[in-house]
Amino acid sequence: MEQKTNQRIAKISGHLYPSNSQIMEDSSEVMMRANCRAKGGAPGFKVAILGAAGGIGQPLAMLMKMNPLVSVLHLYDVVNSPGVTADISHMDTGAVVRGFLGQPQLESALTGMDLVIIPAGVPRKPGMTRDDLFKINAGIVKTLCEGIAKSCPRAIVNLISNPVNSTVPIAAEVFKKAGIYDPKRLLGVTMLDVVRANTFVAEVLGLDPREVDVPVVGGHAGVTILPLLSQVKPPSSFTQQEIEYLTDRIQNGGTEVVEAKAGTGSATLSMAYAAVKFADACLRGLRGDANVVECSFVSSQVTELPFFATKVRLGRSGAEEVFQLGPLNEYERSWQKAFRRGYHSSRNKMKAVSESVLM
Ligand SMILES: NC(=O)c1ccc[n+]([C@@H]2O[C@H](COP(=O)([O-])OP(=O)(O)OC[C@H]3O[C@@H](n4cnc5c(N)ncnc54)[C@H](O)[C@@H]3O)[C@@H](O)[C@H]2O)c1
C-alpha cells in the first residue's frame, strides 16, 4: 500500500525533477512515456519546445498547454526549465507537461515527438540586424537539429530562431548529413509577419483583424518580407501612400518592438501567439484536416531561390503543397528585386559562418 502511494506521488511530481526522467522512463511501475496523458484527457499530439524558458518559450509553453490538440508537452532549455515546467504544470488543461534541462536530457526531451518548436537562441538588441545573431544561433540550431535527427527524425520542425532565412538552410544541411532530410517537415516560422500584416491592414481598413488575411511571402528579414497587399482578403484597394506605409511597417515591425523594448529583447508575446497559431495549423494538418493553409519559409521551387516563404498546405506529412505567388502588381514585382538583392547579400555574409558551423 505504502509502495503504491509512493509511486503515485513520484508519478505526479516527476515532471518537476527533470534529472529523474530517465529513471522514471526505465521503470515499468511509474510513468511511461506512452502513458503520458492527463487522466481523462483526449489523445493528442506530442510536442517539444526547445528554448522553453526564454522570452518566447515561456508564453509559447503556456499557450501550447492550453491547446486541446496537445497531449504531451516537453519543455527543454539549457537553463530554468524546471521552474517553467513546475509553473505551467499547474494549469488544469489536458496536456501532461514534463521538463528537461541541458544537453544530456535532449534525447529524452525529443524521443517520440510529433512536432518540435525551436525558439532557442539569442534575440536582437537595438542596432542589430537578424543576421548579427547568426554566429551564435547557427550553432544552437545545429546541435538541436542533430538531436531531432537522432531522436525524432519524422517530427515536423517549426524553426523560430533568427535569422530564419539562414537557420532553415542550416537545419536542412544537418538533416541531409544525417540522411533524414524531408523538406516537407522543415518549416521556418514567418507567421509573425502575417499576424502583423493582418493587424496593420485591419487598422487601415477599419476592420476586425480576424476577418483579414494578408499573404506575406519572401523571407523573414527587412526587405525580404513582402506583404502581398494586392491579394488581401477581403478584396481591398489601398492608396499608394497606404501601400508604402503598410509595407514599411510590416517589414520593420520587429525593429519597432526591439527599439521599444530598449535593449531588453525582441518580440516575445506576439511571437508566442504567432508560433502557436502556426503550430496549431501544423497539428490540424497532422490530424488530417483539409485545406489548412498558412505562410511558411520552406524549401521551394516557386522562385530560383532554394528557400522561400509562400502559402503552403499543411497535411499529415508537413508542407504537402507549396503554392505559387499568384498575380503580383508592379509595386510587388519591384520589391521582389530588392528582395533578391537583400537575400543574396545576406547569404554571402552568412556563407563563411554556415561553412564553419557545418564542418
Ligand atoms: N521567427 C520570428 O518571427 C521571430 C520573432 C522574434 C524572435 N525570434 C527569435 O527567436 C529566438 C528567441 O528569442 P527570445 O526572445 O525567446 O530569446 P531569449 O534569450 O529570451 O530566450 C532564448 C532561450 O533559448 C535558450 N537557449 C539558448 N541556447 C540553447 C540551447 N543550446 N538549447 C536550448 N535552449 C537554448 C536560452 O536559455 C533562453 O531560455 C531569437 O533568435 C529571436 O531572434 C524569431
Measured CA angle at 341 (ends 340, 342), to 5 deg: 90
Collapsing DSSP to helix, strand or coil, 190 comes out as coil
- Out of 76, 78, 103, 277, give the residue to mutate to test ligand 1, the one with the largest number of ligand atoms within 8 Å of its CB: 78
- Joined together, the cell numbers standing for residue 180 give 533524414
SS3 category, 303:
coil
**Closest ligand 1 atom to Cα of 52:** 39
What is the C-alpha separation between 79 and 82, in angstroms, rounded? Answer: 8
Judge if pTM exceeds 0.95.
no
pLDDT value at 210 more than 50: yes
Q: Could you give all domains of the chain from N- to C-terminal order, each with its CATH number?
A: 42-189 (3.40.50.720), 190-358 (3.90.110.10)
pLDDT band (50, 70, 90) for residue 29: very low
Segment 293-339, tens digit of pLDDT? 999 999 999 999 999 999 999 999 999 999 999 999 999 988 877 77
CA-nearest residue, atom 27 of ligand 1: 121
Is 178 within any annotated ligand binding site? no
Dump pLDDT digits (tens) for 135-149: 899 999 999 999 999
Neighbours of 89 (CB within 10 A): 19
Summarised one tens digit per residue, pLDDT across range 104-122 is 999 999 999 999 999 999 8
Helices (H), the chain: 2-13, 21-26, 57-65, 81-89, 106-110, 134-151, 164-177, 191-205, 240-251, 253-260, 269-287, 330-358
CB-based contacts of 283, cutoff 8 Å, min separation 6: 44, 45, 47, 67, 69, 70, 114, 115
